[in-house]
């Protein structure tokens, strides 16, 4: 059975973020992740984690202004200083919370910008991240996101991500493999996981279509989870879906699989 964590940015949203730790603990989760934890002070998050005997396993670096359409800025040539300031903030949070992983979102490719400059900017920024995070023992993760949900997202499939890793040339970089996004973009999930497990540092999942809980779409999660066990995957597999019902009701699949 996978080592499950729960994403508090997408599940238990019936209550404010500071109350989701308790809600997750009540359902048996002792590992959590938060996309953007910066709405709460790191000291408050640390207190909540200690109170509920939990640990945080992943957070995202700041990704720009979502209200203005930003979905990450790591590939934006004109926003390098802003991106790197965000990385420094993410590292400070991760250090204080003993969080082992920081996820980077490349963002939507800026319009009217040379593709080679976009790629070079992203590679240079990822080199910066890999080096800064390695110094403090934090794993750099990069996520590929499907272009149906976010048109124009620059890093959108696993092979592109692996090619970027080669260009970065630093050992402290791995893929945050999201089953939902990669089913949409490339399918062949188990084959990709099996053949690239050494390049994958974290897994998230939701069913397709809809990005809801397992058993609402086309994916056979029993097969996927069994395959991960058979591969010897020992990392985190995180629930990152939009519940189609209440969060508690949406967890019925977990009891059935367990």
Q: Which of 33, 132, 213, 240 is the catalytic position?
A: 240
* Full DSSP string of 40-103: S-HHHHHHHHHHTT-EEEEEEPP-S-GGGT-S--TT-GGGHHHHHHHHHHHHHHHHHHT--EEE
Whole-number Å distance between alpha carbons of 258 and 251? 11
Whole-number Å distance between alpha carbons of 39 and 36? 7
Active site residue 240: yes
Q: Which of 119, 132, 143, 213 is the catalytic position?
A: 143
Q: What is the DSSP letter of 152?
A: T
Q: Which of 73, 150, 138 is nearest to 104 (CA)?
A: 73
Q: Which of 225, 178, 229, 226 is nearest to 200 (CA)?
A: 178
* Chain centroid, CA 142 distance in Å: 8
Residue 172: C-alpha distances to residues 76, 81, 133, 186 (Å): 22, 21, 8, 25
Q: What is the DSSP letter of 32?
A: E
How many other β-carbons are positioned within 10 Å of the β-carbon of residue 147?
A: 16
Active site residue 143: yes
How many other β-carbons are positioned within 10 Å of the β-carbon of residue 221?
A: 19
Residues annotated catalytic, as ranges: 143, 240
């Amino acid at each position: 059975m996978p080592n499950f964590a729960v994403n508090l940015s997408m599940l238990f949203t019936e209550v404010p973020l500071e109350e989701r730790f308790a809600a997750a603990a009540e359902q048996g989760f002792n590992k959590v992740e938060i996309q953007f934890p910066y709405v709460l002070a790191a000291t408050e998050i640390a207190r909540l984690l200690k109170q509920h005997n939990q640990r945080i396993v992943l957070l995202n670096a700041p990704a720009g202004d979502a209200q203005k359409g930003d979905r990450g800025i790591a590939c934006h040539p004109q926003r390098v200083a802003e991106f790197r300031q965000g990385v420094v903030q993410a590292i400070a949070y991760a250090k204080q919370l003993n969080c082992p992983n920081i996820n980077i979102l490349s963002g939507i490719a800026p319009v009217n910008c040379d593709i080679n400059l976009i790629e070079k900017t992203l590679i240079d920024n990822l080199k910066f991240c890999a080096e800064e995070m390695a110094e403090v023992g934090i794993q750099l993760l990069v996520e590929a996101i499907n272009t149906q949900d976010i048109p124009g997202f620059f890093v959108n499939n696993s092979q592109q991500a692996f090619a970027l890793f080669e260009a970065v040339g630093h050992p402290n970089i791995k893929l945050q493999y999201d089953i939902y996004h990669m089913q949409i973009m490339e399918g062949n999930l188990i084959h990709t996981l099996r053949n690239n497990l050494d390049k994958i540092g974290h897994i998230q999942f939701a069913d397709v279509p809809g990005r809801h809980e397992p058993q609402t779409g086309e994916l056979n999660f029993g097969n996927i989870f069994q395959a991960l066990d058979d591969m010897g995957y020992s990392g985190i597999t995180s629930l990152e879906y939009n519940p189609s019902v209440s969060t508690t009701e949406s967890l019925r699949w977990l009891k059935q699989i367990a």
